[in-house]
Amino acid sequence: MTERTLAQHFFNYFSICNADSIDLKNAVFKLRYDVYCAELGYEKNCPEDREEDNFDKYSKHVLIKHKGTSIYAGCVRLVTPPPHDPKALLPFEVNCSQSFDPKKVAFLRAGDNVRIGEVSRLAVLSRFRLRASDAKTPDGINPERMSLDVIEEEMRYFPFIAVALYFAATSIVRYQNIKYAFVMMETRLARLLKRSGISFIQLGETIDYHGQRALFYIEPTFIDDLKPELKELYQSVDQQLVYNSN
């Protein structure tokens, strides 16, 4: 019998989809409320059960669902400047401008045909963020304990929820021909992802913004250098998003 791969195991327990409909977008905003407002207190004055902002109007959203419970476990968005305003600022430029040298970002923005985007509002529910230390971050990635009634075999793949969400954002980046993707990320998470071949390049200083974060960017060509099992996971994410968008 052929042993299952990481991608096969992961999608045995989870599904992923583009959140294009009103109902799915509402599920995104509810999940973000649960994580960013109710759990972590990062966002204040949110309407009940809903966290959204002006950037959502020109974002693509993705949801991951836990099959065993039908609970949406995580979400992410890719923000891109709207076609009518290609020089519009991204969230990091509005909220974190003090943390980086604007000349470095201007260099990456240079050129009339250069498209950029920002991976933003990545959130994983606390029951899928497993370590005590990860309970304080929206994208916890290493397991030790949890409160959801599932078998131990499933728990082994919970750390890959955040990875799959980053891969989902990358899939959108590639289909939209975006050259650079920015993200405000914990340096700890960036180091963990680098071990897997996902190398973000740091552009700014660490600041307190939804936790201790710094500005990073990445080019979508990093997929070519992934370890084989992670490349297969990316391809599976990409295939599901394409299939579920049709």
Residue 43's pLDDT is what?
Answer: 84
Q: Which of 73, 95, 229 is nearest to 140 (CA)?
A: 73
The CATH number covering residue 30 comes to: 3.40.630.30
Task: Identify whether 60 is part of a domain.
Answer: yes
Please give the tally of structural domains in the chain.
1
Residue 215 bridge partners (DSSP): 184
Domain that holds residue 172: 6-244
Task: For residue 35, tell me if it sits in a domain.
Answer: yes
User: Sorting pLDDT into bands at 50, 70 and 90, what band is 245?
Assistant: low
Q: How confident is the model at residue 24 (pLDDT cuts 50, 70, 90)?
A: very high
State the pLDDT at residue 106.
85
On whether residue 105 sits in a domain, the answer given is: yes
**How high is the pLDDT of residue 171?**
95
* Domain membership flag for residue 1: no
Residue 142: is its pLDDT beyond 80? Answer: no
Closest among 116, 120, 146, 121 to 131, alpha carbons compared: 146
Residue closest to 215 by CA, chosen among 196, 227, 200, 226: 200
Q: Residue 178 domain-assigned?
A: yes
- For a pLDDT cut of 90, what percent of the chain falls above it? 57
Q: Inter-axis angle of helices 228-244 and 160-175, to 10 degrees?
A: 60
Residue 75 has pLDDT above 50, yes or no: yes
In which band, very low, low, confident or very high, does the pLDDT at 156 lie, cut at 50, 70 and 90? confident
Amino acid at 90: L
Residue 199 in any domain: the answer is: yes
pTM value is: 0.89
Write out pLDDT tens, residues 77-90: 999 998 888 888 99
CA distance 102 to 133: 32
Residue 135 reports pLDDT greater than 60 = no
Q: To the nearest whole percent, how much of the chain has pLDDT over 70?
A: 88
- pLDDT tens per residue, range 199-230: 899 999 999 988 889 999 999 999 998 889 99
